[in-house]
């Protein structure tokens, strides 16, 4: 039998997980700074949650969901994104009643989309996302965008491009929709069957079509920007003003519509311009979703958020050729020579770990020289050697691998000595 990982998924091996942990910690740190609190929701939900929120004419719902019938005949779906679940939880747990509003949430976990496999596009990927629910202040739109930008900046990315647009409020969208229908209707036969279905239900989705993207009518389609009513335009102006206050450069792209139905007002994407990032370009996407909480049975609580995949963040770091300075995490490698010393080594390794000193030893009865090589490879700061001589003197040989110096240290003061020299070492670093 030749069983491999399913297409579009990947194993993240121990040589790679260090990078993931660094990035995840950086993200959690930014969330602490901005006061977003983590929420963990199930990886599967009732299918209806996504058809109602993401929208039943979107590619995600129509083509990309992993939907299955469970043994109780319920239709369930592996979550393709996190906003729907966060908003469902917001309603279900009546977070709108919390004393502190807006409620600021973040999540980090696997999402699932049945997509065609290509660079930066996976069927299982990890999304980090935030949602601020309960405020229609344009300043929070800028906060949400600035959190996304600061994660990328802290990760060392420089070739970033922020693109924003306004999708307007419901009234603006209704007039735009009418204009879109009149624009496409006379030639709709030239479009794919998906677009034909979208025409009456959701003509905005036509602009997002991957099949018909080169049709000449796409270029001349009425732009949402021309249909923004006064209120929507004023809101957008304020978002831009706050971004300028935060010194965040942006471009406006009136064709940016996003692939999910719940958006209105602010929509944005962050792109990478790094050459090595190739055709992937989009790092993160988000926007405002006033009305979604109501759609899912809650009160009128406006929201905004974004999501990014960790996979693309790591690819962008690589594309910008940023070095990973992997810190060694091994303090001590313990070598016991001979049967009696081996027993001491086992005991000592255990004691070191109990004292929060990372320790490793050999379990293959290899020669001293080979064990020293292992210690080197693992980046150990110290090697402890115990032989019969040392055993007799109730001491060990402590070797500092950075300086090459070695001393006989009594077992009774060993741990203290390692702790003191480690703190000195850290201070010097």
Q: Which of 283, 335, 348, 386 binds ligand HAM (CB under 6 A)?
A: 283
Tell me which residue has its CB nearest to ligand HAM: 305
**Minimum distance between the CB of residue 113 and ligand HAM, rounded to whole angstroms?**
5
Interaction of residue 51 with ligand HAM, rule CB under 6 A: no
Residue span 196-235 as binding mask against ligand HAM, x where in contact by CB under 6 A, dash where not: ----------------------------------------
With b for 16 or more beta-carbon neighbours within 10 A and e for fewer, the 395-423 pattern comes to bbbbbebeeeeeeebebeebbeebeeeee
Q: Is 1 exposed, middle or buried (0-12, 13-18, 19+ CB in 10 A)?
A: exposed
Q: Name the segment binding ligand HAM (CB under 6 A); options: 69-77, 123-131, 165-173, 382-390.
A: 123-131
Interaction of residue 306 with ligand HAM, rule CB under 6 A: yes
Q: Which of 285, 298, 302, 336 binds ligand HAM (CB under 6 A)?
A: 285
Q: Which of 44, 122, 227, 235 binds ligand HAM (CB under 6 A)?
A: 122
d(CA 174, CA 180): 10
Sheet holding 66-69, edge to edge: 44-46, 75-78, 66-69
Whose Cβ is closer to ligand HAM: residue 159's or residue 353's?
159
Task: Decide: 283 and 313 in contact? Cβ < 8 Å.
Answer: yes
Interaction of residue 295 with ligand HAM, rule CB under 6 A: no
Interaction of residue 307 with ligand HAM, rule CB under 6 A: yes
Token readout for 395 is: 């001491």
d(CA 140, CA 259): 22
Whose Cβ is closer to ligand HAM: residue 283's or residue 380's?
283
Interaction of residue 309 with ligand HAM, rule CB under 6 A: yes
Sheet holding 264-272, edge to edge: 37-38, 103-112, 124-133, 303-309, 282-288, 264-272, 160-166, 251-252
Find the angle CA(153)-CA(154)-CA(157) to the nearest 5 degrees: 40
Token readout for 338 is: 């001979």
Whose Cβ is closer to ligand HAM: residue 108's or residue 375's?
108
Q: Which residues bind ligand HAM (CB under 6 A)?
A: 81-83, 113, 115, 120-122, 125, 127, 129, 131, 259-260, 282-287, 305-309, 311-312
């Amino acid at each position: 039998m030749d069983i491999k990982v399913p297409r579009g998924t990947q194993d993240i091996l121990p040589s790679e997980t260090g990078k993931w942990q660094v990035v995840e910690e950086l993200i959690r740190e930014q969330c602490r700074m901005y006061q977003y609190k983590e929420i963990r929701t199930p990886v599967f939900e009732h299918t209806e949650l996504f058809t109602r929120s993401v929208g039943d004419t979107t590619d995600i719902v129509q083509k990309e969901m992993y939907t299955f019938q469970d043994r109780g005949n319920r239709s369930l779906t592996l979550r393709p994104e996190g906003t729907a679940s966060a908003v469902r939880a917001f309603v279900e747990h009546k977070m709108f009643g919390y004393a502190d509003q807006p409620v600021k949430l973040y999540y980090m976990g696997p999402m699932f989309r049945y997509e065609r496999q290509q660079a930066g596009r996976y069927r299982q990927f990890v999304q980090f996302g935030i949602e601020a629910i309960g405020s229609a202040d344009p300043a929070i739109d800028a906060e949400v965008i600035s959190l996304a930008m600061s994660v990328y900046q802290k990760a060392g990315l420089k070739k970033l491009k922020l693109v924003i647009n306004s999708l307007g409020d419901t009234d603006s969208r209704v007039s735009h929709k009418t204009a879109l229908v009149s624009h496409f209707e006379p030639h709709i036969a030239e479009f794919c069957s998906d677009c034909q279905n979208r025409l009456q239900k959701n003509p905005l989705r036509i602009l997002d079509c991957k099949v018909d993207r080169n049709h000449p009518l796409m270029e001349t389609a009425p732009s949402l920007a021309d249909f923004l009513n006064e209120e929507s335009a004023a809101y957008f102006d304020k978002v831009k003003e706050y971004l300028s206050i935060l010194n965040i450069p942006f471009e406006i792209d009136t064709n940016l519509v996003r692939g999910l139905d719940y958006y209105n007002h602010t929509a944005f994407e962050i792109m990478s311009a790094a050459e090595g990032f190739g055709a992937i370009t989009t790092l993160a996407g988000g926007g405002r979703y006033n009305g979604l909480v109501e759609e899912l049975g809650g009160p009128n609580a406006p929201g905004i958020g974004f999501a990014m995949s960790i996979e693309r963040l790591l690819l962008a770091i690589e594309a910008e050729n940023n070095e990973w300075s992997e810190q060694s995490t091994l303090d001590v490698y313990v070598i016991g020579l001979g049967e009696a010393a081996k027993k001491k080594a086992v005991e000592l390794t255990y004691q070191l770990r109990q004292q929060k000193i990372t320790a490793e030893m050999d379990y293959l009865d290899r020669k001293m020289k080979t064990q020293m090589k292992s210690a080197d490879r693992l980046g150990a700061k110290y090697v402890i050697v115990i032989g019969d001589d040392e055993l007799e003197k109730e001491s060990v040989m402590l070797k500092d691998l950075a300086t090459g110096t070695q001393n006989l240290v009594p077992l009774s003061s060993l741990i203290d000595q390692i702790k003191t020299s480690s703190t000195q070492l850290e201070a010097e670093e």
